Structure 1
């Protein structure tokens, strides 16, 4: 057997010192790199009895906090045989990192009682908790303590104090502290710039950045992130200059910087540049993906936003609530219920279904995308504490689906639970009143608005004007306008639009004078209303004057104005002017084409109208229900029965446009004019709508022209059952009898 050779004490001590040195280096290295493997030396330290080595323990404490969380760090801290200021600062930092700020302040109090006096790092850490908890007095005591112990020149503590005072909007105090600092460091300059940005003092932020550069203090990535996040008067050129400075200074393109740059370029609709930025490095995280999805959605690139979401999922990065919010906005914008349901299922899987903003977005999505209100209502009832946005989305959803009474009931229920409506809620419920022309409920809401002083809000005032005007209460609408403290173009546009709908086009044109007297500028929408009134009245000269105004004011490029011009000249029979106005539209939409086709058709240019319809389809613009009304009218008045029938049956089959009652009126007119009265009657009887008086009058007129007394009497009887007081039926029936040589029957009707 081998005998164990005893190691001399001196040599054993030397080996222990060496091992302790190795452990210190390993612990320090692992701590700096946040490597979990570093804790493996802990058991060896205990075995060798060197667990009272303070430097080793402080490194292990920091390592436990970084890699294993607060609970393990606190357990290690409590077991430490000796602690110094570094130990206390380490455990404080762990609490602050986990946002346990109240416990952090308790630890600080315990530290003071235990003896070690805090250093500048300790005090700067405590200041973060003071800021988070709103403990201004506590923070001021920390400031006083730092002065008392000579830390006022410490750059790290100075930056923390500046940040603390900026958080509480004590900008003068922050500036004074900053001026005491010798030149300042990157952190202090960045803190000052950040506070200026948050306070909306853009010019001050730019001046600070300029001074920072002139002081030879290099900005870092956080400086630029703060500057890029500034909105308001900071121009795109300034932001591009920041980007250029980053390149010149060699600032690392990390994820934070990349996200800020992407967000900046997407905000200015420069999506190609934004996408290029995102691909400069291969690193992506959930914040960058969310910025990409949100930026694409906000720039109406919804398909690309969905593709980006799918790419993010494939890459293995989990979405957060902001990602889902952006995706739900995209689903709502493209009215994709299927996609919305898929996002909803992912929300449930990630346990976010009880999050209020997510719930609000889901209610909005279902109410706008679904044909029913059940899904939206189900999500709403699942929100534990619905806020004003939740209620407003529900009320708006009911109103948009035609359930105005449910809107009112939800409004009353919202008030009963103590949630006060905001201006948007009131404007939506007033819109519901306008939709059903409920003067009684409008008046009740008006009283509530006056009682709660909500009438000072221009959004509410405008909605009230629209509700009264929409109910035909012209005097009440003007009364609200007169008592509004502030009026804008929307106020008067609502009036003009409603007057046009009532057929009171003269009143609509009079609105212009009130706008001029009120120094409210005419915008594209109000101008379109005035064009419409001029067209309906046949006021060519007024229309031309408005045309001149649109050119002088720079509004002629507005699509709504251009479309109204086409409509005006078409209705006034000035087809050359209508065509010229149409050709000046850079990218005609369906309304532009409808105006041109209608103008040509109503003036008897049948071939030109149908040719324009073909040109419209060739240009890639999809016809809508209004387009087909004009086309069927053209075929009817041009005697093109078979072609008209082809267009009618192609609506659903080729163009995905569901025929409405107005289209069946045109169909009956088309067949009736051609003498195909039995076919017209069959179309009337088999259509999926309940007939109205107009469709019976249309067929009765055709019976009169073609002297079909038997069918005419049947149609007249059916029409009079719907509206016995309509004199048109009696007049047309009397004329039918005259045409058929039965003046005796005509005289009986007294016509």
Structure 2
């Protein structure tokens, strides 16, 4: 008997020892505790549930769910702890289907789940998207009286919010939880909303959380700061920063990193550094966040400085650190810097990392003219993911479109599905190269694979179709989109502007307003550019008002567009005022003002503005020099223009492009140095196009050089035989030289070849409506005819020298003048815009009209502005070549024509 008692006491002592060992090993995840399993079986202790449940937990932690499941299946007895342990281990390791199967087996065995079992099962439900199954588990919780339990309530809130249910309903559910839920419950809900992109709702719940008397902790702030960093902006971030101070949240490393990340992404690196210095603790994630922040703000020198400080602190960079540094190299296109970091990556043995591999491919593609290194890095990646493929494809799309398509096919063959960035990269390349067939093939692939659900891909498709000139197809894609944003319409408007369809671009604004989409700074800049192209001052002023109301006036893209708008509308005073409102003018700002002065005939102002630009420390670019040479050409400043051209490479290290040579030829041609201009064309490194030859042909026409003019006409026809302007210029050259027979033969040859000159058109905006007038147009309106007859009669009565039209048709400029006199407000000048050069006949007509009506008339043709007042013009007649027959011909240095499809009223419903 005594021996039996001693044996029982010893067994009890051993059992207690086993529990202590298992508890210790469970707490520290030590697999050595498994050695207890063998004596437990030998001594027949496997029926002790407390002991075996601890052993089951240790198996799950150290050897995974499969070994744990094997032990669970062999257990002679199981209780709710056993079931919950094995079920939660499956949920944690993402074996969600097996977890729900175990839940069903538990219910079938007659065992009732507890709050922890239900929580694990709910997590598996929302992971699998099993909404109906989750609702069944919710019913089970209600039957068991566990609905108000904090653990179950928190899991239910997380389940419903992650499954896309209304956050208000989830909040009501949370209010049923005992004591209104704790900070964990509320933070779980906030986290679910943030993950689902419902940032506004997350902040609403945050406010209700505080109103309920539950105060946020560091985890709450980390979740919300993540939303602020990516989407909500600086004002929300500052509010959260103030709250975490007010509520006394501990600024541990995780929270400090989140605040630093928020300020970094909001471009407030000074504040980010201040926060990082609040406590002495640093880890690799905080250092990497700072490096990434400087990289995103293009402060590469500062990013490298932080990297050096990190190394001096004794912390080793990780893969994300090196990825950020490689991205910094890509941002400034520094191959040398990227190669240095590549060597560091090899030294530390991280070259096989996916993130680094992707960054290396991207760096070599962007920084190097050759693709060998990028391909080599890519081929060394064991299992390249979609990011790696996309970086390589995007790089080839910029260099060789055919190779990018080949890689695209190889990517699909490898079983990697392209994402929206992949498709957008290839579509962008198709747009740049104007490749129509590949675009349509990609569109078919998108429809087939249903990738067009992604708004980014749909926007890229709209941009591509518009870029290749298929505007109807672009609108068709927009019509099929379930969701549109400002980028959708901005892409279309920008492309229409590039092609000169400014009226159509302004109509995009109406569709955008009808969709309830507000303009952002980029769309606003596009619409301002369209208004500038059309010269619609009233529409432009409405857009200006909207920019002030919305706070976009301070954005560089908008402020630069305002300078461009007023310059193109002939209001250089307003353009100068818009320029002065820019706090830190960049090169685009200065270029806009310089070209504006030049356009408006204020050549000396343009040149002095360039001096101001240099004094301000802003480096001139190729556009600056192009504007200066053009201004000198218009102002007859031959030697100064030549000086600016030669200074491009010597002083500013800018390689002249074809446009610069065209301006140089125009400059020399206007100055009568035709042979020298011919030498420029023959010696330049570019192959001459028809436009530069046509420029010299026009100069030959001006100075009567028939031989050189004939040579230029021959070259022009070889390059572009279907351009009627060449025939007309040559014909007028013959006419002015007294060779009218040759001139008539040239015109007859043009007609025999079926070529027609583009119709001259004028337009004007009155009360937000654009009215246009065409050459040779018969006017049925008696008022306009009477006004024109009245003006011509007044010319005769005042004995002005004026010759009426031989063809008895009124030119569009004349129609526009009469219409403006009748309809434009008497207190403002009459503004007329023309898509070709003004002819000498109309020039004289408008000058004389200003003496009769006593009003200022502003005319913008394809070359410049003409300010008519009191019988005088700002150009002093030096730009009006006496070529009456070329009044419908465009000789502008770009080939774009202005679209006049804007005759309907344009009102800014949302812009005032």
* TM-score band w.r.t. shorter chain: 0.7 to 0.9
2-structure distance, mates of 1:166, 1:256: 25
Following TM superposition, by how much is the alpha carbon of 1:714 offset from its aligned partner in structure 2, in angstroms? 4.6
2-structure distance, mates of 1:139, 1:261: 42
1:463-507 Cα shifts (integer Å, max 9, x gaps): 333333322233333333344444443333333333333333333
1-structure distance, mates of 2:709, 2:274: 71
* Corresponding residue number in structure 2 for 1:281: 279
1:472 aligns with 2:493: no
Within the candidate set 85, 102, 125, 2:65 is matched to 102
Superposed, 1:292-307 pairs within 5 Å as 292-307=290-305
1-structure distance, mates of 2:332, 2:626: 26
Following TM superposition, by how much is the alpha carbon of 1:632 offset from its aligned partner in structure 2, in angstroms? 0.9
* Corresponding residue number in structure 2 for 1:572: 569
* Corresponding residue number in structure 1 for 2:93: 132
* Corresponding residue number in structure 1 for 2:658: 661
* Corresponding residue number in structure 2 for 1:623: 620
Within the candidate set 277, 285, 288, 1:290 is matched to 288
1-structure distance, mates of 2:572, 2:326: 46
2-structure distance, mates of 1:617, 1:143: 80
Task: Report the secondary structure of 1:655's partner residue.
Answer: coil
2-structure distance, mates of 1:701, 1:417: 59
Change in 2 beyond 3 A, CA 1:122/1:224: farther
Change in 2 beyond 3 A, CA 1:119/1:258: farther
Change in 2 beyond 3 A, CA 1:714/1:309: same
2-structure distance, mates of 1:466, 1:54: 73
Following TM superposition, by how much is the alpha carbon of 1:312 offset from its aligned partner in structure 2, in angstroms? 1.4
1:178 aligns with 2:150: yes
Aligned residues: 679
Superposed, 1:459-538 pairs within 5 Å as 459-538=456-535
1:523-569 Cα shifts (integer Å, max 9, x gaps): 44334333333333333344334434444555444433332222122
1:636 aligns with 2:636: no
Task: Report the secondary structure of 2:421's partner residue.
Answer: helix
* Corresponding residue number in structure 2 for 1:240: 241
Within the candidate set 605, 610, 613, 2:607 is matched to 610
Task: Report the secondary structure of 2:308's partner residue.
Answer: helix
- Is the CA contact 1:500–1:529 (under 8 Å) kept in the aligned structure 2? yes
Superposed, 1:245-260 pairs within 5 Å as 247=248, 251=250, 253-260=251-258
2-structure distance, mates of 1:455, 1:274: 38
- Is the CA contact 1:464–1:480 (under 8 Å) kept in the aligned structure 2? yes
1:681 aligns with 2:678: yes
Following TM superposition, by how much is the alpha carbon of 1:571 offset from its aligned partner in structure 2, in angstroms? 1.9
* Corresponding residue number in structure 2 for 1:368: 366
Moved more, 409-418 or 735-744: 735-744
* Corresponding residue number in structure 2 for 1:422: 419
Following TM superposition, by how much is the alpha carbon of 1:74 offset from its aligned partner in structure 2, in angstroms? 6.7
* Corresponding residue number in structure 2 for 1:199: 192
* Corresponding residue number in structure 2 for 1:540: 537
* Corresponding residue number in structure 1 for 2:597: 600
1-structure distance, mates of 2:152, 2:390: 51
Following TM superposition, by how much is the alpha carbon of 1:60 offset from its aligned partner in structure 2, in angstroms? 12
Task: Report the secondary structure of 2:651's partner residue.
Answer: helix
- Is the CA contact 2:626–2:660 (under 8 Å) kept in the aligned structure 1? yes
1:268-317 Cα shifts (integer Å, max 9, x gaps): 54433332232233332212212222233344443322221222123332
1:249-274 Cα shifts (integer Å, max 9, x gaps): 7x4x5433433443344455443333
2-structure distance, mates of 1:443, 1:526: 26
1:352-397 Cα shifts (integer Å, max 9, x gaps): 3333333233323332333333333333333333333333333322
**Larger relative helix fraction:** 1
Gaps of 5+ in 2: 1-13, 127-133, 154-176, 195-201, 749-912
* Corresponding residue number in structure 1 for 2:883: none
1:143-184 Cα shifts (integer Å, max 9, x gaps): 99xx999x98xxxxx889867855765796696442799xx9
Task: Report the secondary structure of 2:279's partner residue.
Answer: coil
2-structure distance, mates of 1:311, 1:164: 47
Moved more, 234-243 or 635-644: 234-243
1-structure distance, mates of 2:431, 2:441: 13
Following TM superposition, by how much is the alpha carbon of 1:414 offset from its aligned partner in structure 2, in angstroms? 3.1
Change in 2 beyond 3 A, CA 1:541/1:266: closer
* Corresponding residue number in structure 1 for 2:379: 381
Task: Report the secondary structure of 1:199's partner residue.
Answer: helix
* Corresponding residue number in structure 2 for 1:34: none
Change in 2 beyond 3 A, CA 1:54/1:683: farther
* Corresponding residue number in structure 1 for 2:335: 337
Moved more, 129-138 or 310-319: 129-138
2-structure distance, mates of 1:503, 1:223: 52
Task: Report the secondary structure of 2:93's partner residue.
Answer: helix
1:16-42 Cα shifts (integer Å, max 9, x gaps): xxxxxxxxxxxxxxxxxxxxxxxxxxx
Change in 2 beyond 3 A, CA 1:361/1:210: farther
Following TM superposition, by how much is the alpha carbon of 1:608 offset from its aligned partner in structure 2, in angstroms? 0.5
Superposed, 1:6-85 pairs within 5 Å as none
2-structure distance, mates of 1:713, 1:222: 80
Moved more, 684-693 or 236-245: 236-245
1-structure distance, mates of 2:421, 2:226: 28
1:57-84 Cα shifts (integer Å, max 9, x gaps): 9789969997xx9677778998999999
* Corresponding residue number in structure 2 for 1:18: none
- Is the CA contact 2:190–2:220 (under 8 Å) kept in the aligned structure 1? no
Following TM superposition, by how much is the alpha carbon of 1:663 offset from its aligned partner in structure 2, in angstroms? 0.8
2-structure distance, mates of 1:723, 1:477: 30
1-structure distance, mates of 2:316, 2:74: 40
1:699-741 Cα shifts (integer Å, max 9, x gaps): 3333444455555555444444433444544554555566667
1:383-427 Cα shifts (integer Å, max 9, x gaps): 3333333333333222223x2222333333333444443333333
2-structure distance, mates of 1:208, 1:438: 55
Moved more, 282-291 or 721-730: 721-730
Following TM superposition, by how much is the alpha carbon of 1:121 offset from its aligned partner in structure 2, in angstroms? 13
Change in 2 beyond 3 A, CA 1:538/1:331: same
1-structure distance, mates of 2:280, 2:389: 43
Change in 2 beyond 3 A, CA 1:255/1:455: closer
Change in 2 beyond 3 A, CA 1:120/1:241: farther
1-structure distance, mates of 2:185, 2:106: 18
Change in 2 beyond 3 A, CA 1:97/1:105: closer
Gaps of 5+ in 1: 1-51, 153-157
- Is the CA contact 1:92–1:104 (under 8 Å) kept in the aligned structure 2? no
2-structure distance, mates of 1:750, 1:70: 97
Moved more, 87-96 or 293-302: 87-96
1:84-127 Cα shifts (integer Å, max 9, x gaps): 999999998887777x53367269649968x9x99999987994
1:323-375 Cα shifts (integer Å, max 9, x gaps): 22322333333333322222333333333333333323332333233333333
- Is the CA contact 1:377–1:394 (under 8 Å) kept in the aligned structure 2? yes
